[in-house]
Chains A and B, each alone.
Chain A
Amino acid sequence: MAQTTSPATEAAPGEPDGSAPGPASNSEGGDQVDGGETDVVGLGKWRASAFVAPALVLVAIFLVFPALWTLYIGITNYRLTGIAARAPEFVGFDNYTRAIGDANFLNSLWLTLIFVLFSAVIGQNVLGFALAWRLQDVQGWVKGMVQSLVLLAWILPSSIVAFLWIALLDRDSGTLNAMLGTPGLAWLIEYPMVSIIVFNIWRGTAFSMLLYSAALASVPPSQLETATLVGASRWQTLRDVVFPHVRGHVLTNTLLISLWTFNDFTPFLITAGGPNGRTETLPVYIYNTAITGGEMGYGAAVSLIMLLINLVIAMFYLRLLRERR
């Protein structure tokens, strides 16, 4: 959710001028970042804390508390309806042992892994880099058009893009079948996982493309010229000149898109986890068991597993950012 301090900031500094007389010298900004702040406005610690408080209260109630509460719900048999709804009982680690032994859960975990690996780590990463790399040499409307299309796929609301793909893949009158000459092929039933993987590549490549575009712009032109002069092939240039410059960005990008894809609920809008749980990634599994099925305790246990996986990915990411600074 927080693509805040992405490395692209380094590649593209400088503030596009607003109406204000532009933020002046960089050296001054640099001083402030290192904790040289002085309380110029004279807020004082108390008033400053009061300014921070409203935001923190909201975050505490709607982000921190739910995360902690998950721990508690996960060890109860909390249900939405029935007796357990009124007086949930402690069941210890029953929910967790049940999850580990549950074929549906393991299947869901496996599908999520496949989904993240093929659609994000490989798909979005490779296509995003390829687009950024190829579009470097292109100027004018071709570049603008391709970039706009990729971005559009990214910014349209998920409900809309989900339906667009349902229409595209429709068995009887979908455009894809018409183009491939495969009438009657129900993609979402025959190849549900492939469908949502391709969908997610289509949906999310924009971020990788943007990040790699910025990263590639930071490769010194002189090194590229030297590579051309010594007769390096395109592939050699990519491997020996470009890659060392963007290696860090590859890692950052992979972590971020993995995290987002792992938490993506959009497949639900296309397949709702079906057919027969064949696209039931973890988020969809949680929805189906907890919200639809009412098994809050069990759903919370699975949620905690998700939170822990998120934590691991996020720690890696933050560590990477710190090293970079």
Chain B
Amino acid sequence: MTTVAAEPNRGSAVSEKRAPAASPSIMTPRQVVGRIGFYTVIALATAFFALPMLWLLSTPFDDTPGLSISVPDLTLNNFRDLLDNPYALGSLVNSIVLAVGTALLVVVFAALASYSLSRVKIPGRDMLLYALLLLSSIVTGTAAMVPIFLMMFELGLIDSQIGVIMVLSGGLLPAAIFILKDFVDTIPKSYEESARVFGASSFQILRHIVVPVIRPGLATIAVWTVVNVWGNFLVPFILLRDTDKQPAAVLMRTFYTEGGAPNLALISTFSLLYSIPVVLMYLFVSRKYGFRFHGGIKS
């Protein structure tokens, strides 16, 4: 997610600033102390951020999984607990269903809307965009959980995955439209114009010119949606009561709230499996498209 475009600029500044300190012969005692202090700060920050996550790396492979971090006696037995749990793998499938379903809905609807909003001056467009942006920031999952829960309850959509997908899509669409419209705005109209000159119909242009050109934007939105839904706890938590339908985020709670002691073998292996997709997706996107930061990856 590092902003690639900014790098060269910063690099030159750094090399110049660093030049005096680079040769050790002219480092004053004060600079030495400064360096030591600097690396102490970096080390502390690293420890702070790494410490909680070490558990996730060591415990899944530990013969005697505990709450503390220890050098594991390597084993893969813990993964048997994962396979033995009747809901664990199913919940990951549920997470995939919710994530893919929402991503499809969001990508298709946001693409249609943002393209039109970018290219056609529909009356009241600017007002609409402003309202969308405002809405998506104020009507958050937590602030709207009561009416949403009640609405789905009255509609009989509790325990419906489609219901969850629609609620999540409604929440993500405004931001998605915004990000995507920004993206379409930067694409010159000349592609479409020349296709039109050659007599292509509207839908031919959309299918063969526009879609390929905005594909990176669509991919960004898709990944952004998937990551959001993958980690979302609240919406499926209040709308899905049936264990068979719950995604990983919700099911995980049952591993340690019911039946007294937490099943650490299960929690650790499950967490590892559940976290891998987001990490991979993040790596993929940051490598391929280099995250123009705007839009972020997470709401």
A28 interface contact, C-beta 8 A: yes
Minimal Cβ-Cβ distance residue in A for B271? A160
A37 interface contact, C-beta 8 A: yes
B284 interface contact, C-beta 8 A: no
Cα separation A155 to B249 with both chains bound (whole Å): 13
Complex interface: chain B residues within 8 A of A194 (CB):
none
A3 and B146 within 8 A (CB): no
Mask: chain A, 207-238; 1 = CB below 8 Å from B; 0 = not: 10011011011100100110010000000000
Known: A23-B188, A303-B143. A14 touches B5 (CB 8 A): yes
Complex interface: chain B residues within 8 A of A147 (CB):
2
A307 interface contact, C-beta 8 A: yes
B41 and A159 within 8 A (CB): no
Complex interface: chain A residues within 8 A of B275 (CB):
156-157, 160
B71 interface contact, C-beta 8 A: no
Minimal Cβ-Cβ distance residue in B for A170? B67
Shortest distance between the CB of B164 and any CB in chain A (Å): 11
B170 interface contact, C-beta 8 A: yes
Given A62, A73, A154, A165, which contacts B52 in the complex, CB threshold below 8 Å? A165
A4 interface contact, C-beta 8 A: yes
B279 and A52 within 8 A (CB): no
Within 8 A of B (CB), among A231-283: 259-260, 263-266, 269, 282-283
Given A20, A37, A64, which contacts B121 in the complex, CB threshold below 8 Å? A37
Within 8 A of A (CB), among B147-180: 147-151, 153, 166-167, 169-175, 177-179
Q: Which DSSP category, helix, strand, loop or mixed, fits chain B's interface?
A: helix
A296 interface contact, C-beta 8 A: yes
A107 interface contact, C-beta 8 A: no
Minimal Cβ-Cβ distance residue in A for B34? A234
Given A16, A213, A218, A314, which contacts B292 in the complex, CB threshold below 8 Å? A16
Within 8 A of B (CB), among A6-58: 6, 8-9, 11-16, 18-20, 23-25, 28-29, 32-33, 35, 37-45, 47-49, 51-52, 54-56, 58
Within 8 A of A (CB), among B175-223: 175, 177-179, 182, 185-190, 192-193, 196, 202, 205-206, 210, 212-213, 215-216
Given B6, B141, B179, B271, which contacts A217 in the complex, CB threshold below 8 Å? B6
A146 and B45 within 8 A (CB): yes
A145 interface contact, C-beta 8 A: yes
B253 and A25 within 8 A (CB): no
Cα separation A202 to B136 with both chains bound (whole Å): 25
A97 interface contact, C-beta 8 A: no
Shortest distance between the CB of B106 and any CB in chain A (Å): 9
Mask: chain B, 1-27; 1 = CB below 8 Å from A; 0 = not: 111111101111110111000000000
B234 and A265 within 8 A (CB): yes
B278 interface contact, C-beta 8 A: yes
Known: A58-B109, A137-B18, A147-B2. A299 touches B146 (CB 8 A): yes
B120 and A39 within 8 A (CB): yes
Minimal Cβ-Cβ distance residue in A for B12? A221
Kindly list 16 other residue pairs between chains A and B, CB separation below 8 angstroms, not including A4-B178, A167-B67: A3-B175, A3-B295, A9-B292, A29-B187, A35-B121, A38-B189, A47-B202, A52-B113, A52-B117, A56-B113, A265-B141, A286-B146, A291-B145, A296-B146, A303-B147, A306-B143
Q: Which 6 A-B pairs have the closest CB atoms?
A: A62-B170, A12-B3, A221-B13, A66-B147, A283-B142, A157-B231
Chain A contacts to B: CB under 8 angstroms: 1-6, 8-9, 11-16, 18-20, 23-25, 28-29, 32-33, 35, 37-45, 47-49, 51-52, 54-56, 58-59, 61-67, 69-70, 73, 78, 80, 127, 130-131, 134, 136-139, 142, 145-147, 149-161, 163-168, 170, 172-176, 178, 202, 207, 210-211, 213-214, 216-218, 221, 224-225, 228, 259-260, 263-266, 269, 282-283, 286-287, 290-291, 296, 299-300, 303, 306-307, 310-311, 313-315, 317-318
